[in-house]
């Protein structure tokens, strides 16, 4: 049911934009992992506690972060690729930024198991075996 996985990702992004952490977690497996571009240095966010820490970190640094899905593709049955635009203002600096990212969502039984966030869209495409 590919539409189901795509819809799960859309709903999870909507919950993230609303900072509804409890609702976001309903779309995730218990062992959810958020892998950020800096995860090799600081580690990834794991489980419900990690997701809550991620949202807390966002609130501390970019409280107005808003994510817009530009592109959403089902890669294989349980993997979804999104191109995102993230708009934010740094809490301390006051500097506004718009970033283009790519996210790869791995799902298990219709729930998000892992989200890999890429600062480089070409890297994300390569990691899922595609090119643009």
Instruction: For domain 2-125, give the CATH number.
Output: 3.10.450.50
Q: Is 66 exposed, middle or buried (0-12, 13-18, 19+ CB in 10 A)?
A: exposed
**In whole angstroms, what is the distance from residue 74 CA to residue 52 CA?**
27
Query: Sheet of 111-118: strands edge to edge?
Result: 45-46, 28-35, 111-118, 96-108, 79-89, 66-76
Give the chain's residues under pLDDT 50. Answer: 1-2
Q: What is the pLDDT of residue 1?
A: 39
> Which pLDDT does position 3 carry in this prediction?
65
Q: Are 120 and 101 in contact (CB under 8 A)?
A: no
Contact between residue 97 and residue 114 where contact means Cβ atoms under 8 Å apart = no
Which pLDDT value is given to residue 14? 97
């Amino acid at each position: 049911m590919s539409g189901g996985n795509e819809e799960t990702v859309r709903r999870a992004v909507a919950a993230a934009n609303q900072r509804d952490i409890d609702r976001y977690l309903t779309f995730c497996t218990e062992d959810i992992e958020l892998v950020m571009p800096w995860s090799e240095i600081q580690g990834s966010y794991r489980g419900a506690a990690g997701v809550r820490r991620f949202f807390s970190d966002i609130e501390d640094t970019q409280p107005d972060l808003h994510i817009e899905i530009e592109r959403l593709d089902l890669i294989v049955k349980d993997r979804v690729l999104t191109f995102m635009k993230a708009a934010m203002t740094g809490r301390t600096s006051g500097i506004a930024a718009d970033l283009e990212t790519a996210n790869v969502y791995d799902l298990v039984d219709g729930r998000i198991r892992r989200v890999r966030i890429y600062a480089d869209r070409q890297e994300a495409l390569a990691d899922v075996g595609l090119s643009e």
